[in-house]
């Protein structure tokens, strides 16, 4: 990645933060529990483009912060500029993108927060989609703590702006944990089970109408999650 211009980074980051706080009523819960240093995989539900600038700017002033985003985002000149400035890592969806995996592991080894959306695809109605198992591979290789962050309300941002209305956006932080497979060989089924367990942590923090594929919390398990 090319060197970051500190002034441009500050202007874009805090310009976005100010703009979002003017356009949104942002309600944060348990935000103070987010570690101020050290590697961390912060994973969240994916319901639109708002969450990327929202979470990035709200996690400031911590400088060691990056995320994964679909490589197609770089086709847009504005997103290309901003995501490059923020050192966001492009990932090719639908394939084993080892370049993105290596970049993610390098950033985590340097003590970064890495943001990721396990669903991979944006939910158009804000309801949870089934997660992909790829986050499991990354988390196990990094051996970094994971932190679930649930958000809702941002899916109405576009329509609210057109009506000159502020959007009420909620951000809720869960309990940090690590993965523990007990030394078992991790196959595809196990990766999916772990990803589902992680998503149930998100679902439990969301209002019922947003839980989607993870609506039945009675099916939630935490066999591979070890809470701090």
pTM: 0.93
Burial grade of 109 (CB within 10 A; 0-12, 13-18, 19 or more) = exposed
E strand intervals along 14-81: 24-29, 40-44, 65-70
- Which domains does the chain possess? 27-227 (3.40.1130.10)
User: Please, which residues have CB within 8 angstroms of residue 141's CB and are 6 or more apart in sequence?
Assistant: 101, 105
CA dihedral angle for residue 153, residue 157, residue 158, residue 161, rounded to 10 degrees: 140
| Tens digit of each residue's pLDDT, the chain (228 residues) | 566 788 999 999 999 999 999 999 999 999 998 988 899 999 999 987 788 899 999 988 777 899 999 999 999 999 999 999 999 999 988 777 899 999 999 999 999 999 999 998 888 888 999 999 888 999 999 989 999 999 999 988 989 999 999 999 999 999 999 999 998 899 999 999 999 999 999 999 999 999 999 999 999 999 999 998
């Amino acid at each position: 990645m090319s060197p970051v211009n500190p002034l441009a980074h500050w202007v874009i980051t805090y310009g976005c933060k100010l703009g979002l706080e003017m356009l949104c009523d942002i309600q944060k819960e348990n935000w103070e529990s987010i570690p101020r240093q050290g590697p961390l995989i912060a994973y969240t539900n994916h319901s639109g483009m708002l969450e990327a600038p929202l979470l990035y700017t709200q996690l400031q002033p911590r400088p060691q912060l990056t995320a994964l985003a679909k490589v197609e985002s770089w086709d847009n000149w504005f997103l290309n500029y901003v995501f490059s400035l923020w050192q966001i890592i492009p990932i090719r969806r639908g394939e084993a993108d080892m370049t993105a995996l290596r970049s993610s592991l390098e950033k985590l080894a340097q003590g970064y927060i890495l943001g990721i959306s396990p669903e991979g695809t944006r939910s158009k109605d804000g309801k949870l989609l089934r997660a992909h198992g790829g986050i499991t591979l990354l988390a196990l290789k990094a051996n970094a703590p994971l932190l679930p962050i649930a958000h809702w309300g941002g899916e109405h941002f576009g329509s609210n702006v057109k009506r000159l209305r502020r959007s009420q956006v909620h951000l809720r932080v869960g309990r940090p944990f690590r993965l523990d497979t007990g030394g078992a060989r991790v196959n595809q089924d196990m990766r999916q089970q772990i990803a589902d367990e992680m998503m149930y942590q998100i679902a439990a923090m969301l209002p019922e109408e947003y839980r989607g594929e993870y609506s039945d919390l009675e099916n939630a398990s935490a066999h591979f999650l070890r809470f701090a």
